[in-house]
């Protein structure tokens, strides 16, 4: 046992001298000294003989160096600074038992201790992550805004069904329906990447990708608009003829302010419902709803149209009878519903005839009056169906129709 103690003491003194432990940077207190003796005693407790104790003492602390001027510190070599730092560093010896059961001194902790500390830190991090994951509630999945049944009900009852391609192009303001058909026949329209040459193809602008001349058709179609225009004399109802004025030019202010009033929506393509010749004035319906225009202009609607014809010359009973008997217009026998001579007015020198028709053929009223041997000075339409031209609507002005006005025209939207 004495030989073992002597060997350990010699090894310890050698290690302390090698690791500069004879001049520690900081003094050890009595408590630290007692704790170090306990550690060494516990490390040697596994030995078969009686536990030895080491009485390890240290030299007094190294005196602190005075700070050097900046000029001197700049000239020092970096190797000298690192050496002084090593002298001031305190090393703690580790007395461990090797594989052969012998006690050895080393300056680093045993490998098994380092592994145990690393495993303990890893387990702590895993537990912390598990606690955090349990503490944070799982984000609920975003519920659909509407159920499948609700969406199906909407699609079946409220969503617009697929429409003909030419009709969709006309509603989007690309061109008239006839010109849209010419674009389709010319191969300038593609649907979902394929050229479409059939105007009757059913498409849905929301789901289908439609291109016209390389430009994408907007998914949102413009809203339906309905106007009543007091048409002035000298304007035609068709668009595209530059030599004469068109009634659509009276809506330039409305179209120019469209983007400001309806941001994000494409401009509607307006057209007239039926026609009035260039010399006829009065009530004219303007819209972008093709179904509405087709309904009003079709003969099956049997909407009555009332005109006031101002006549040059005198009008007698024979003229009224001849007009009421009718005449042939475009190969069809047409007769008016009502023919009436209006009472004279002090401010009007010419006689006026009230004529109500329902055929709506081209120049029908003018042909009826001409067949009676009379000459028309002025012709004005004042009523279509149950809607009458507002008396306060100035010439060349328009007013937007309300639902009650549309119902008066026989339209159920």
- Give the residue numbers annotated as catalytic, written as ranges: 277
CB atoms within 10 A of CB 128: 10
Query: Burial, 311: exposed, middle or buried (Cβ in 10 Å; 0-12, 13-18, 19+)?
Result: buried
Q: Please, which residues bridge with residue 189 across strands?
A: 212
Residue 306 CA: distances (Å) to CA of 226, 280, 341:
20, 13, 13
How many DSSP H helices and E strands does the chain contain? 14, 19
Q: In the structure encoding, which two tokens stand for residue 312, read together?
A: 């040059």
Question: Residue 362 in 3-state DSSP?
Answer: coil
- Rounded Cα distance between 227 and 409, Å, is 12
**Separation of alpha carbons 203 and 190, rounded Å:** 11
Beta bridge partners of 246: 236
Q: Does the CA dihedral 330-331-336-337 come out positive or negative? A: negative
Beta-bridged to residue 77, according to DSSP, are: none
d(CA 203, CA 209): 9
Helix-helix angle 364-371:317-325, to 10 degrees:
130
Per-residue DSSP letter, 87: H
The residue behind tokens 């048409």 is 231
- Give, rounded to a whole angstrom, the gap between the first and last alpha carbons of the chain: 114
Contact 286, 272 (CB under 8 A): yes
Q: With 0-12 CB in 10 A as exposed, 13-18 as middle and 19+ as buried, what is 63?
A: exposed
Q: What is the largest CA-CA distance in the chain?
A: 159
Both structure tokens of 34? 């007692």
Q: What is the rounded CA–CA span in Å between residue 50 and residue 110? A: 24
């Amino acid at each position: 046992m004495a030989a073992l103690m002597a060997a350990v003491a010699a090894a310890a003194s050698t290690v302390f001298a090698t690791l500069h432990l004879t001049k520690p940077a900081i003094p050890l207190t009595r408590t630290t000294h007692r704790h170090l003796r306990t550690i060494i005693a516990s490390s040697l407790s596994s030995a078969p003989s009686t536990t030895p104790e080491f009485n390890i003492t240290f030299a007094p602390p190294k005196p602190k160096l005075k700070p050097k001027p900046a000029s001197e510190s700049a000239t020092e070599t970096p190797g000298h600074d690192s050496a002084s730092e090593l002298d001031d560093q305190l090393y703690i010896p580790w007395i461990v038992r090797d594989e052969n059961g012998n006690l050895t001194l080393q300056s680093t902790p045993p490998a098994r201790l380092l592994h145990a500390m690393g495993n303990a830190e890893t387990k702590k991090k895993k537990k912390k992550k598990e606690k955090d994951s349990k503490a944070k509630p799982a984000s609920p999945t975003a519920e659909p805004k509407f159920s499948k049944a609700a969406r199906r009900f909407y699609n079946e009852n409220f969503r617009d069904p697929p429409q003909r391609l030419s009709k969709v192009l006309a509603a989007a303001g690309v061109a008239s329906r006839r010109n849209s058909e010419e674009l389709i026949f010319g191969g300038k329209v593609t649907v979902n990447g394929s050229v479409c040459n059939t105007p009757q193809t059913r498409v849905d602008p929301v789901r289908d990708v439609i291109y016209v001349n390389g430009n994408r058709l907007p998914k949102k179609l413009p809203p339906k608009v309905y106007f009543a225009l007091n048409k002035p004399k000298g304007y035609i109802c068709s668009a595209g003829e530059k030599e004469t004025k068109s009634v659509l030019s009276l809506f330039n202010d409305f179209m120019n302010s469209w983007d400001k009033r309806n941001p994000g929506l494409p401009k509607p393509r307006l057209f007239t419902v039926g026609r009035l010749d260039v010399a006829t004035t009065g009530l004219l319906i303007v819209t972008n709803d093709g179904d509405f225009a087709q309904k009003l202009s079709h003969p099956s609607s049997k909407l009555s149209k009332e005109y006031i014809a101002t006549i040059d010359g005198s009008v007698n009973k024979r003229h009224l009878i001849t007009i009421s008997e009718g005449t042939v217009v475009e190969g069809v026998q047409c007769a008016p519903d009502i023919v009436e001579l209006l009472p004279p007015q002090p401010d009007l020198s010419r006689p006026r005839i009230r004529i109500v028709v329902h055929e709506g053929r081209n120049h029908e009223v003018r042909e009826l009056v001409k067949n009676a041997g009379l000459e028309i000075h002025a012709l004005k339409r004042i009523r279509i169906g149950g809607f009458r031209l507002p008396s306060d609507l100035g010439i060349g002005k328009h007013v937007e129709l309300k639902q009650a006005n549309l119902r008066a025209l026989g339209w159920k939207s």
